[in-house]
Structure 1
């Protein structure tokens, strides 16, 4: 894997951590997620007017990804209902790199070298260490179930989009239509939380939509990288967003123990290096 691709994925991870921090600090997370989804739709609608249509072969993957995203939002919402963000998030994201690598091996035929698997394991350990203080108090059965379900959904759409973008013939077009299809998520959340969303102050609307644009940009970078690197490796590097979020939480929100988070960052860096040098 080239240094450029590694840097692109890490930039996406940092952007992903940024928009998750926006959601984390929001008073009404469900409504804010609706605004984040809207932040995908608006620029996506502009882009599809000037870009070519993605190939017919890629549309089943676009549709499947949208369906899986519905499952993802449902599982995530239920996980946050039964457990804290600091408990749910590392479990959900921590299992994703190994799952994506497994799905890619079974369904796409991508086999990673042993060194890359060591890197994935280091990143998974780093994710858990970053939130160890919360995890050691235990996880309720419902929170664990929905957190694992969230992780399975993430691994599912990661694989589907990885194959879909390669078949699309145009990464930008796939990205744009992927963003536009978030309109179904916006509509679903609006039906359930319409009054709450309308009652949000203008500043919250602006922050939520900006978070969506940041999220869209982050995923666009990941989709681009999936054209040039194995899906499992891309996923592992993307999940370093958990460590970035932990560091952001410590520096800007005064959360957590700096020694534990520094250790997690060092392990993450080691995992990134192993993956980058093995492919």
Structure 2
């Protein structure tokens, strides 16, 4: 993995953690997610005249990804209804790379070299260690774990789908993401508007500036990630992208006054070790 791709994925991870923190601080997370989806979709629509139309080979991947992203958001919202963000988010993000390793080997034939595979596994284990900070309490109520694992499965599915879709789109990963977000936005926003009613539009009016910033970050983060997947192995990019959990932990500690603790420090060191293995 080149230094340019490496830096791009780390930037994507930072942007992803930042917009997730914006959603977290909202009193109505579903409406906040709808607002972010609305602004990212509008930004993508505005950019469509300046990017190529998807190739015929890319359209099936786009159609599948729209469905997967909607399912991903629904699973994520359900997970947050039953569990804490600090547990659900790391489990979902840590499960994805492990599944991508298996699927990319079976579907795409990308077998990772030992050092890269070690880096992927170390990062995934470090992310999961962040999630298991609560110990046995996590198993007292199984629904958060089950929904988080389902979310991780969706993450793996759209990572593989969009990585292949970006490649099928003549390598225009950023253009692929813009079309994806533009197509995905009306469906999800309509669902949130029906579910939340007037309260959704209240959130739109009250938090539009935060939503606009988060939407732009969301577009940039995923465009960088999909572009990287057109240049490097899918599993390696997916694993490196999960350093967003460390960025999220840092944002929570510095700005949301959350406790970091020794357990999180150990998990952060594991993720850092995995990053070094990937870079080598």
TM bucket normalised to smaller: over 0.9
Answer with 60-69 or 253-262: which moved more: 253-262
- Once the two structures are superposed, residues 34-61 of structure 1 have per-residue CA deviations (whole angstroms, 9 ceiling, x without a partner) of 0110121111111112222110110000
Answer with 258-267 or 6-15: which moved more: 258-267
Aligned match for 1:272, one of 252, 272, 275: 275
Q: Is the 8 A contact 1:41 1:180 kept in 2?
A: yes
Distance in 1 between the 2:269 and 2:87 partners?
Answer: 21
Distance in 2 between the 1:190 and 1:49 partners?
Answer: 28
Q: Is the 8 A contact 1:10 1:237 kept in 2?
A: yes
- Once the two structures are superposed, residues 172-222 of structure 1 have per-residue CA deviations (whole angstroms, 9 ceiling, x without a partner) of 321210120122211221221231111227341221232111111100100
Q: Is the 8 A contact 1:68 1:156 kept in 2?
A: yes
Distance in 2 between the 1:50 and 1:91 partners?
Answer: 37
Distance in 1 between the 2:138 and 2:189 partners?
Answer: 34
Q: Is the 8 A contact 1:10 1:240 kept in 2?
A: yes
- Once the two structures are superposed, residues 109-160 of structure 1 have per-residue CA deviations (whole angstroms, 9 ceiling, x without a partner) of 1001122221112112221333443354223221111111100001000000
Kindly report the root-mean-square deviation, in angstroms, between the aligned alpha carbons of the 2 structures.
Answer: 1.5
Distance in 2 between the 1:224 and 1:117 partners?
Answer: 21
Partner of 1:260: 263
Distance in 1 between the 2:251 and 2:264 partners?
Answer: 10
Task: Note the residue ranges of structure 1 that are not aligned, 5 or more in a row.
Answer: none
Distance in 2 between the 1:218 and 1:88 partners?
Answer: 21
Q: Is the 8 A contact 1:82 1:142 kept in 2?
A: yes
Partner of 2:148: 147
What secondary structure sits across from 1:262 in the alignment? helix
**Matched ranges for 1:54-93 at <5 A:** 54-93=54-93
TM-score by length of 1: 0.94
Task: Note the residue ranges of structure 2 that are not aligned, 5 or more in a row.
Answer: none
Residue 228 (structure 1) aligned with residue 231 (structure 2): yes
